[in-house]
Structure 1
Amino acid sequence: MNEYKLWLEEENLDEELKKELQKMTESEIEDAFFKHLSFGTAGARQVMGPGINRFNIYTVKRLALGYAKYIKLISKSNNRSVAISYDNRINSRLFAYTCARVLAAEGIKTFITKELRPTPYLSYMVRHFNCDGGIMITASHNPKEYNGFKAYDHTGAQLVPTFANKLTKEIDKINNYFYIQERLSDLIVEIDETFDALYLSEVKKIELRDLKKPHKFVYSPLHGTGSTLMPKLMKDVGYKFYFNEKEMINDGAFPYTKSSNPEDLLAYENSLKIAKEIDAVAVLVTDPDADRLGLMVKHEGEYVFLNGNQTASLEAYYILSTLKEKNKLPKDGIIYMSNVTTPLLKYISKAFNVELKEVLTGFKYIGEQIEKTNKTYLFGAEESYGSLIKPFVRDKDAIQAVLFLSEMITYYLEKGLTLYDVLLHLYKEYATYSEQTFSITYKGIKGAKQIEKIMKHFRRKPLLIDGEVLSYYEDYVDGVKVKEGKKEKLDFDYANMIKFYYESGHEIILRPSGTEPKIKIYLYIKDENLDKANKKLTKIRKIIERIIKEI
């Protein structure tokens, strides 16, 4: 309550925020002030509003100043610089330019986009301008009430914990939110739309085949940044794209879509209507900062939703099979995936004799590995619709993914196959998995404690399921693999996650979300065919939900 009073009595507090403060209930005050805004899996992300645990102009200035101090700490350059961009969300542009002015006051040059641009575009800017880091103002796929701050390193990848912890220490040193200096300066360099051509020229190089392009596609950016690049790209490469014009409008209120998350079927509702009217072969949807792509494909007269695991498996298979066909599959090739992604990728990689490396959740770990190795990068993916075809950026890139999936769909249709046909082939050829990620939300202080309680429960009592034999489990807090009571050290950094492996091939994972107040459960259920696997998944999910409810 002390922090609340300080904010309420602060003479420099924005009047609108002060009015919001005065209307807050006791529980709302507690949630907004019980801790400082913190970094998670993908930077800092929170509901907008007054308070130290909310996203507002003052918490943004604190993050920006902390980031400036961090850049000074890690960079020995006399000409330090940072790239900045932002999405369509309410206040995103204001927050981005505020960051630029705070950095300018600290003597750091910034390259900031005059208009909103995608997250992968920001990553490309960092690399192109040889910056010391980057800032992306976005809350990705979160609801419209949220905004966020993604922090990048000099390679264009998000900060891994070693460096995120250093950044956090610098932020924690800043106790006063209201007297952080800003400066208008020639250190702030605006980047206009002429820079688009440089990024898009790299995107166009990812194509593996020269194809005729007779098919119709429907695309929506869900009011986000994809609208700034997709019309230019598709005009240049020649695919017949029909744009959901209402959702091409950049708007942080997301007025024409029921969801800003491509994992949610509601996000496809309007685009699906257009697809049916024009007989399109697919609907492609990118999230607001255009780092993740969702997909529905037409199969036997119906539009079928493909999840992020299925899309990643199809992308990997297409890359490997095409390169093999052309005798261009490198002996030192490598694929990366987060360790909450489908096991099917392991089977596909093994079949092509290609190394697959698992990393912790968060594409920053894939970016880190790309930088560390001399092996030939082939593909990287995570289950939540994030993939990277070519590593000229070091974050998920849905602009690349839209072009690449369009090529894949077109190629297979030439062969008389839909993407769903190809997916069924992968199940038959390699392994059949029913995959599902579900979340349970626990808000506020009590919610955070309940999530902690659930994780502790499963560490004490590993997940036993009737009819299934638990082979072993991995606890990423202690960094150990536990099999028959014996412990082996894992070659992974700390993460609040538990992963259970069963003799049947099932994999079940529990981890708190790094960006939202929820616990996430990942189910990978293997069986001889998809129908059996789906039924088994439904049964196992009910068992897990019952156990969690009783904790």
Structure 2
Amino acid sequence: MQWKTIAQNWLNQLTNEDPMKNELTELLRNDQLAEDCFYKDLEFGTGGIRGVMGPGTNRLNIYTVRKVALGLAQYVAEQGESAMKRGVAISYDSRHLSEEFAFEMAKVISGQRVTAYLFDALRPTPLLSFAVRHLQAFAGVMITASHNPPEYNGLKVYGEDGAQLPPEAADVIINYIEKSGSNLIQDTINTEQLQSQGLLVSIGDAVDQAYIKELQTIRINKEVNDVSIVFTALHGTASKPMQQTFESFGFANVQYVKEQEQPDPNFSTVKSPNPEETGAFELAIQYGEKVGAELLLATDPDADRLGVAVRDEQQQFKLLTGNQIGTVILNYLLEEKLNAGELPRNSVVMKTIVSTDIVSAMATKHDIETVNLLTGFKFIAEKILEYEKSKEHSFLFGFEESYGYLIGDFVRDKDAIQTAAFIGEIAAVYKARGKTIYQVLQEIYEEYGFYKEQTLSITLEGKGGAEQITQIMDSFRNNAPSAIHDINIQRVEDYNSGKSIDYITGMKSSIQLPTSNVLKYHLENGAWFVIRPSGTEPKCKFYFATRGQTEQEAAETLKIISDSVLNRVQTEILEKA
């Protein structure tokens, strides 16, 4: 088997001093696990490369990181001397080996005579995106696995606009990475020499302060800041920048969850450091009840995603969904900018195809266009750059349902730091007007209808799991249902073929988006569901959305559709596999 040959090659090349040699020796006693570690290379997904740490081509380790670094450096070098001098900005989060991976990345890149700008300590993803633009670097790398479990790590590669690479650019980089080969020999790079030559540069507070200064540009009601906030960094990177940001916004009544304030690669106080999950807010809720807070905020480890909890009509803390957070932000932006006469006529809202449609209705009311894009914030950033050049539209707001938002485009990735500060302003302004965020959200539903969404995932790990995910996609693509629980399907969009098929007329039309392994089904009652493999985790993801005259009606319809789809997956696909 080819994987065994590759594994044995690794074992032969690793020195006896390398601790990975013993780990690999032990691993090879388990054929099934060893095959999963070596049967393929880690692949670029929606968030770059991400995987479990350990030996192997399908694991994240110092050697897979070195391979990416070498390929990236060779790509930059091919672009000429100017690109090499502009170099690559590098940051890292609080995970196991993140600092070591970042330093290795910087050493390999600068060893190829390409300038490497390495942050002097861990920083959030939005700071890396900002640094690329601020330093006018040619590229950027963020070492992170976002909110994955502790055994994961990964990296994201950024272009000169500060955005994650879109598919076309990623393909070019991937070709260089594949050609770089697997070098398992210990490096002999002299870092002190690289530093003295100005090729390995440490960056820090100056970039942070420039970012904090830019944050002031997103503020609308600058004098209103009376709100009680509890914030948690969930053991990640956000504590220091968030404290600086709150202070710069004038928020004096902020409590920090001390138990989760310091970086911890094991995320020891939570089951998952994911602000989408209620469990991540357990300590924040305890703090909130103790101090009588009005707003709870939580960032994931690399601080690109933000979770928000507000008090409902019973004064209980309620965790908002990503779609609800996006709805509240857009409502505030539209109303406040319109009242201030600062809403450009060519404003545009950007969202992903799996995010709530209520924002489209809100934008339409104000004669503003909404652009729907593929999952992955890089597509939003790509469209920002396109409009920046063409002047066709002025960026107002971008978001995705998975808790990612962008208000100020001085960052070109989702930014939990700026969003947390902006949500604080929203809460303070509504409080001054005698309202809460929850009350405003209910008013929005009363006006536009009750939109209800849900995201569910089936975890299918390893080689066998990947095959099952393929079977699910093939089944829905090649044996598509005509109805879901007696609700007829009106239209299906296959983003892999780039075709949309109207089930009523039989007409086919082209989808003006990049190809992607995604299926979206539109039902005759206005509901829809989407199926796609995760680009960063061993999961098949399902998105459901509907709209009702009441919250109960929307919730009941949503349950009917989701139960029916998942039952088909379980009984007709997985149980027969």
TM-score range, shorter chain: over 0.9
Which residue does the alignment assign to 1:124?
130
Deviations 1:59-105 (A, max 9, x none): 10001111112222345625241100000001101100100000011
Give the alignment of 1:396-475 within 5 angstroms: 396-463=414-481, 464-475=483-494
What SS does the corresponding residue of 2:359 show, helix, strand or coil?
helix
Which residue does the alignment assign to 1:302?
316
Give the alignment of 1:340-419 within 5 angstroms: 340-373=354-387, 374=391, 375-419=393-437
Shift of 1:148: 0.6
Letter in 1 for 2:409: P
Give the alignment of 1:204-353 within 5 angstroms: 204-239=216-251, 240-300=253-313, 301-353=315-367
Distance 1:424 1:404 in 2: 20
Q: 1:201 to 1:453 in 2, by over 3 A?
A: same
Conserved 8 A contact 1:117-1:228: no
Unaligned runs of 5+ in 1: none
What SS does the corresponding residue of 1:225 show, helix, strand or coil?
coil
Letter in 1 for 2:177: I
Q: 1:455 to 1:153 in 2, by over 3 A?
A: same
TM-score (norm 1): 0.97
Which residue does the alignment assign to 1:91?
97
Letter in 1 for 2:377: F
Aligned length: 551
Shift of 1:397: 0.6
Conserved 8 A contact 1:211-1:411: no
Q: 1:13 to 1:267 in 2, by over 3 A?
A: farther
Distance 2:570 2:248 in 1: 53
Is 1:72 aligned to residue 77 of structure 2? yes
Distance 1:14 1:190 in 2: 29
Deviations 1:151-200 (A, max 9, x none): 00000000001010011111111333313754411211101224311110
Quick one: percent identity of the two aligned structures?
37
What SS does the corresponding residue of 1:205 show, helix, strand or coil?
helix
Letter in 1 for 2:480: P
Which residue does the alignment assign to 2:164?
158
Shift of 1:462: 2.6
Bigger mean CA offset, 15-24 vs 249-258: 15-24
Deviations 1:88-143 (A, max 9, x none): 00110110010000001111001111001111110111001111100000001111
Unaligned runs of 5+ in 2: none
Letter in 1 for 2:356: T
Distance 2:14 2:91 in 1: 31
Stretches of 4+ moved more than 6 A in 1? Answer: none
Shift of 1:14: 5.8
Q: 1:100 to 1:534 in 2, by over 3 A?
A: same
Conserved 8 A contact 2:14-2:21: no
Distance 2:458 2:442 in 1: 30
Which residue does the alignment assign to 1:20?
23
Is 1:4 aligned to residue 7 of structure 2? yes
Letter in 1 for 2:461: K
Is 1:40 aligned to residue 60 of structure 2? no
Q: 1:37 to 1:334 in 2, by over 3 A?
A: same
Distance 1:460 1:37 in 2: 28
Q: 1:14 to 1:36 in 2, by over 3 A?
A: farther
Letter in 2 for 1:516: E
What SS does the corresponding residue of 1:195 show, helix, strand or coil?
helix
Shift of 1:493: 0.6
Distance 1:455 1:180 in 2: 42
Letter in 1 for 2:58: N
Conserved 8 A contact 1:62-1:180: no
Q: 1:168 to 1:14 in 2, by over 3 A?
A: farther
Distance 1:446 1:119 in 2: 32
Bigger mean CA offset, 456-465 vs 52-61: 456-465
TM-score (norm 2): 0.93
Which residue does the alignment assign to 1:505?
526
Conserved 8 A contact 1:257-1:270: no
What SS does the corresponding residue of 1:501 show, helix, strand or coil?
strand
Letter in 2 for 1:170: Y
Conserved 8 A contact 1:218-1:242: yes
Deviations 1:277-332 (A, max 9, x none): 11100110001111110011012310011010110111111101111111221111
Letter in 1 for 2:475: H
Distance 1:122 1:12 in 2: 34
Distance 2:363 2:79 in 1: 37
Letter in 2 for 1:541: S
Shift of 1:11: 3.6
Q: 1:11 to 1:141 in 2, by over 3 A?
A: closer
Give the alignment of 1:530-541 within 5 angstroms: 530-541=551-562
What SS does the corresponding residue of 2:544 show, helix, strand or coil?
strand
Conserved 8 A contact 1:471-1:502: yes
